[in-house]
Amino acid sequence: MPNSRPRPRRGAGGGAETAGRDELVSRSLQSAEHCLGAQDFGTAYAHYLLVLSLAPELKDDVKETFQYTLFRWAEELDALNRIQDLLGCYEQAMELFPDDEVICNSMGEHLFRMGFRDEAAGYFHKAVKLNPDFNDAKENFYRVANWLVERWHFIMLNDTKRNMIYNAAIQKAVCSGSKSVLDIGAGTGILSMFAKKAGAHSVYACELSKTMYELACDVMAANKMEAGIKLLHMKSLDIEIPKHIPERVSLVVTETVDAGLFGEGIVESLIHAWEHLLLQPKTKGEDVNCEKYGKVIPASAVVFGMAVECAEIRRHHRVDIKDVAGVCLPTNVKFQSPAYSCIDSEETVEPYTTEKMNRVPGGYLALTECFEIMTVDFNNLQELKSLATKKPDKIGIPVIKEGILDAIVVWFVLQLDDEHSLSTSPSEETCWEQAVYPVQDLADYRIKPGDHVMIEVSCQDCYLRIQSISVLGLEHEMDVTKSFTQNKDLLSLGNEAELCSALANLQTSKPDAIEQICVLESTEIALLNNILYHEGFKMAMRKVLSSLTPEKLLEAMDTHCQNEMSSGSGQNENSIQNAPDPLYVLDVSEGFSILPIIAGMFGQVKAYSSVEKDLHRITLDLISEANHFPKETLEFWLRHVEDESAVLQRPKLDKLWSIIILDVIEPSGLIQQEIMEKAAISRSLFPNNLSDTFVSTLYVPRKVAYIKGVFEFPYECLLQSGGKIFPQYVLMLGLLVESQTLVEESAVQGTEHTLGLNIAPFINQFQVPIRVFLDLSSLPCIPLSKPVELLRLDLMTPYLNTSNREVKVHICKSGQVTAIPFWYHIYLDEETRLDTSSEASHWKQAAVVLDNPIQVKMGEELVLSIQHHKSNVSITVKQ
């Protein structure tokens, strides 16, 4: 048995010293084992350190037990916030086992949770190099790679038009005399290299991200420009002359702009640059050597907007329904998405989301003409300084089409110089997305020609903010009763009579109930709007709870519930005493979920929610109260559980769960991490003689006990007889497609797009094989096969799941297979199915993107190899 206590090996000398050492090692092993049995992981860890320092030849024998001890002790240190001790333990472990991929990966996980993403990526990358088949490390590296090198880098570098226009503007400026250049936010360094190729004498570049800085160093070396470009790992705001660069430069180039123009700090960085790093600007009319004056590329920008109707934006940012599967949403609870920005808010929150509007599912309808929001001159220091302090501009836009006002969509034209410009308009085929400002809290969202959409525009906190959105009807008199803002200032069209009319028509009444604002993520709002999802759970839960409750008793429960709803909280002690034991329902969904309240509709049920945020708990209490549920119906499970990781346990010592709801699929389209482990724990159907391999790769589940050197799972099941896990099983489906869009969004394609510069091999180290948050209904692609079932994941009987499977796919159209999009059919039971690819779904889809396209002809077959390891699934084409 590899995990039982090993016998110390005697050295060749066999003297008294060796015998003493062996005795100490043996006693330390016994003590370590005893401490593990008592769950004293810190002392056990210290004993193992002593054993391995005295007897390194025992490494192989105690490796798995040492890993287990390390991980459990690290968890305790993490919970106690003893970060230095935790890191010290891992450093000791890495010295003892420098080539252990499991320890490397675990170290990376702790570092990532602490916010050290660069360092975490290094450990994940090392773990993958040590063991290329180590799925956990690969999955971790892919997730961190998305943080370290955001996906827009690939899309932008593949945008040939953008690269050519920037290159032309830089070349023109350098040839006109701007020979000293500073690239702010260098990224891969492409703009710096454009300047160097154009003939700039001195080129400096700064990049804050450690990952991108190191990547740019490699790129510049590969293009033989490392000697001609000084790359600084710092913010431009921290650059000092002559400490970092010898003198002021004549040209700053930058593309630190996001979809809302100002979100990456371009205003702040250019104010600092004009004050400390750039030569003085050339005044108008002067015609002298450009090298003596400073300038910025881009020179200016014009911001545009348009009011739109868009059902996809609406369902992700506005709760449009009053009733969810029979649960009434009270009027005093207001749901808002994070993109909503209240004018009185002191928080610095990005006030918009982003969408590629020409690919938004279902499209959109323009309700106004395109209108100009503001212009900004990046070569005017005073104008830049005034942006943050300037009072909001009030703009009125005439409505040209009848429709539902869902959002203000914003884009801009970046004027690089007087000749070259880039537009991020939805009508342009560009790498850019548009900024979307959802409209929320209007009394009436329907607008028509003759109305005016009123907005206030400002640049607070270096963000473009569009606030105080309201609608003025101009047919008879201005109708400002549609205004949703809490702003005390009145919107004015500049006419005193109109202002008086507006004052006369303002609504002044206040609701009796205190309004509760509940901020939800856009995916949580889309889930709340997903009627099929909640109706499906309602039907499936009713079946289970009915089967566990005798019919007459169920009728009594329904009557009891109805009486409670009609009489409020008035209930006599007799009915409480005579009430049957409740059925227990646990919802461990990620984020906000009203499923426990839906479960509470079925009579004598005690439903437990595992929401974490206090605001979400308050909101669920208000919803429960509005539906006249007895107060004891809804409980918050994390208040009863000391360790959040131990959420899967019995409701009480003598009780079991009737239903456990697991959140299987992430909104991104991937399987939730550790979901199969949670299903296994819920069922607890493991035999005692687990294989060593399974134990060592399971990362020590929370419910594991260490007994006499053997990892054993408790046999008790968390479900009562007849109880169910929801969903009971999940089918993963996929198809083969040809999509150049997915290819170009996943990796830089050669040197053609980057105008001959060698960047692709370096940034492509951070490409990931899976693209998430896709919408197949609007993805530009050509289907080459029909959908096929790729995998079945059974949560009620998880030990039946297979880890490897081959699937034959029939080709129905000739082309190049570039990707395999996939989605899921979630079966709550045999009759109730949820489809993550449906139009109403709050889930998105994902796709495996192939490294090399595969040419196929109609009538052929491809074989896909599906590997399932814990909650990770990999798909490869077998050739």
Task: Give residue 475's pLDDT.
Answer: 53
Task: Give residue 490's pLDDT.
Answer: 36
Q: How confident is the model at residue 513 (pLDDT cuts 50, 70, 90)?
A: low
pLDDT at residue 532 is higher than 80: yes
Closest by Cα among 743, 773, 736, 764 to 356: 773
Rounded CA separation 485/441 (Å):
8
Task: Give residue 690's pLDDT.
Answer: 35
Task: Give residue 474's pLDDT.
Answer: 61
Distances (CA, A) of 736 to 48, 465, 816, 848: 51, 42, 9, 10
Cis peptide bond prior to 701, omega within 30° of 0: no
Cis peptide bond prior to 6, omega within 30° of 0: no
310-314, 376-380, 673-677, 801-805: the lowest-pLDDT one? 673-677
Q: What is the mean pLDDT of the chain?
A: 84
Q: What is the residue whose two structure tokens read 């980057």?
A: 754
Mean pLDDT of 423-440: 93
Q: How confident is the model at residue 869 (pLDDT cuts 50, 70, 90)?
A: confident
64-78, 314-328, 467-481, 643-657: the lowest-pLDDT one? 467-481
Task: Give residue 780's pLDDT.
Answer: 95
Burial of 306 (0-12, 13-18, 19+ CB in 10 A): buried
17-21, 191-195, 616-620, 866-870: the lowest-pLDDT one? 17-21
pLDDT at residue 319 is higher than 80: yes
Four-point Cα dihedral 787, 788, 790, 795, nearest 10: 90
Query: Tens of pLDDT along 274-293?
Result: 999 999 988 776 655 667 89
Report the share of the chain in percent with pLDDT over 90. Answer: 59
In this structure, the strands spanning 657-662 and 583-588 are parallel
pLDDT at residue 555 is higher than 60: no
Query: Tens of pLDDT along 259-276?
Result: 999 999 999 999 999 999
Rounded CA separation 623/399 (Å):
37
SS3 of 56-109: HHHHHHHHHHHHHHHHHHHHHHHHCCCHHHHHHHHHHHHHHCCCCHHHHHHHHH
Query: Tens of pLDDT along 464-491?
Result: 999 889 999 865 444 443 443 433 343 3
Which DSSP string do the residues of 514-558 spell out, in sequence order? Answer: PPEEEE--HHHHHHHT-HHHHHHHHHHHHHHHHHTS-HHHHHHHH
Mean pLDDT of 82-110: 91
| Cβ-Cβ contacts under 8 Å for 314 (sequence gap 6 or more) | 320, 404, 406, 438
Partners of 655 in the beta sheet? Answer: 652
Report the share of the chain in percent with pLDDT over 70. Answer: 83
Residues in the chain: 879
Task: Give residue 571's pLDDT.
Answer: 43
pLDDT at residue 745 is higher than 50: yes
SS3 309: strand
Query: Tens of pLDDT along 127-185?
Result: 988 998 888 888 888 878 877 788 889 999 999 999 999 999 999 999 999 999 999 99
DSSP state letter for 164? H
User: Higher-confidence residue: 481 or 809?
Assistant: 809
Query: Cα 161 from chain centroid?
Result: 30
Rounded CA separation 664/412 (Å):
40
Mean pLDDT of 499-505: 43
Rounded CA separation 823/838 (Å):
10
Q: Which of 281-295, 651-665, 698-712 has the highest mean pLDDT?
A: 651-665
CA torsion sign, 269 to 275 to 279 to 281?
A: positive
Task: Give residue 507's pLDDT.
Answer: 37
Q: How confident is the model at residue 632 (pLDDT cuts 50, 70, 90)?
A: confident
Query: Tens of pLDDT along 29-64?
Result: 999 899 988 999 999 999 999 888 888 888 888 888
pLDDT at residue 505 is higher than 50: no
| Cβ-Cβ contacts under 8 Å for 253 (sequence gap 6 or more) | 166, 170, 181, 182, 183, 184, 191, 192, 194, 195, 296, 297
Task: Give residue 502's pLDDT.
Answer: 43
Distances (CA, A) of 215 to 222, 269, 532, 749: 11, 22, 46, 17
Q: How far apart are the first and last CA of the chain?
A: 40
Mean pLDDT of 535-554: 82
User: Higher-confidence residue: 755 or 146?
Assistant: 755
Which alpha helices (DSSP H) does 568-651 contain, by range?
573-578, 595-599, 614-626
340-354, 546-560, 743-757: the lowest-pLDDT one? 546-560
pLDDT at residue 621 is higher than 80: yes
DSSP state letter for 258? -
Q: How confident is the model at residue 348 (pLDDT cuts 50, 70, 90)?
A: low
Backbone angle region of 704, left / alpha / beta, with phi > 0 → left and psi within -120 to 50 → alpha: beta
Mean pLDDT of 292-321: 95
Task: Give residue 629's pLDDT.
Answer: 87
pLDDT at residue 692 is higher than 60: no
| Cβ-Cβ contacts under 8 Å for 145 (sequence gap 6 or more) | 121, 766, 767, 768
Task: Give residue 684's pLDDT.
Answer: 60
- DSSP E strands: which ranges in 695-801? 705-707, 710-712, 719-726, 729-734, 737-738, 770-774, 782-783, 788-794
Mean pLDDT of 636-662: 80
